[in-house]
Chain A
Amino acid sequence: MIVMMDSILLFSFGEMFSDFGFIIKLFLLVAIVGFLNQHIENKILKVVVVLFMAYIMLIVNWGTFGALYVVYAVLGLGISSIFVDYFFMTGMGGDHAQQVMEGSKQKMYGAMQQMDLNPNDPHDRQIYLSSQPKKKKGLFGGLFGG
């Protein structure tokens, strides 16, 4: 049963990937035709160049040009903005969530040392935490507007 399920899954995934390859080939063909429509007026020359470029890109070097076309299409859709945002989020000024954690930890260590408590002792830590006043939580346990 498991072997049968595996073969069904593998078959459908194989079919899906081959279909996606075919779809990308069609889109690349349309892109080639669109590019040459803008640059060549002569119809016969256009057909010859389309055939030549399609032969090179879709048949001879499909591995290279297929990957390059996927990168080109994805960049054209604006995926670079996601990368820019991601690197702003993690790079500039450090990780904010990490800073929050570090700041709270340092604050607790300082306060515990003032109270003559050992921050590394779990029992002392419990004493310190129970001495802290409870804050009123906002909506969803303080997640939104807390």
Chain B
Amino acid sequence: MTERGLLGVLPVLGIGFGIILILPIILFYLNDMSKPLFQIILAFSIIGYIKQMGLDGALMWIVSGILIYFIVYKYIMIFSSLYMLMLLMGFGFTSAIMWGSNTVRNKLAGMKARRMYGE
């Protein structure tokens, strides 16, 4: 039977991405002004996207308004995390998260190996 490391790949990745995903929520609780700031950024991102798709006039404001109500006001906790993930994916930072979590996992496996096999 092959020996496994302390943690599997998926749990370590889940922890790595989970930490990134709860960062905005932690920020909201630590700093009161971060939430409206995030909401402004999200609102302008939505309006920019709708404009970029070629909608203008009343239709643009109606669609933007509905989306802003749901995304920026009603489900801000969920969408702020998703927006953070989207930003990180845009910068290609997810590769760094994968690399970092895998390095921690290998270190944990090394520590377990030292404890079990005395290397």
A contacts, CB < 8 Å to B: 16, 19, 22-23, 26-27, 29-31, 33-34, 37-38, 77-79, 81-82, 85-86, 89-90, 95-98, 100-105, 107-108, 128-129, 132, 135, 141-144, 146
Contacts and interface: CB of A to CB of B under 8 A. Distances in A.
Contacts of B95: 81, 85
A100 B106 CA distance: 8
Nearest first, the 9 closest Cβ-Cβ pairs linking A and B are A34-B53, A97-B5, A37-B54, A97-B109, A104-B113, A101-B3, A132-B118, A108-B117, A104-B117
Nearest to B109: A97
Interface string B34-56: 00000000000000011011110
| Range of interface residues on B (Cβ < 8 Å) | 35 or more
20 contacts: A19-B75, A27-B67, A30-B63, A77-B90, A81-B95, A85-B94, A85-B98, A85-B99, A86-B9, A97-B4, A97-B108, A98-B3, A98-B4, A98-B109, A100-B113, A104-B114, A105-B113, A129-B117, A141-B111, A142-B111
A34 B50 CA distance: 8
Contacts of B53: 30-31, 33-34, 37
A89 B114 CA distance: 23
A28 to B, nearest CB: 11
A72 B85 CA distance: 17
Interface string B1-41: 01111100100010000000000000000000000000000
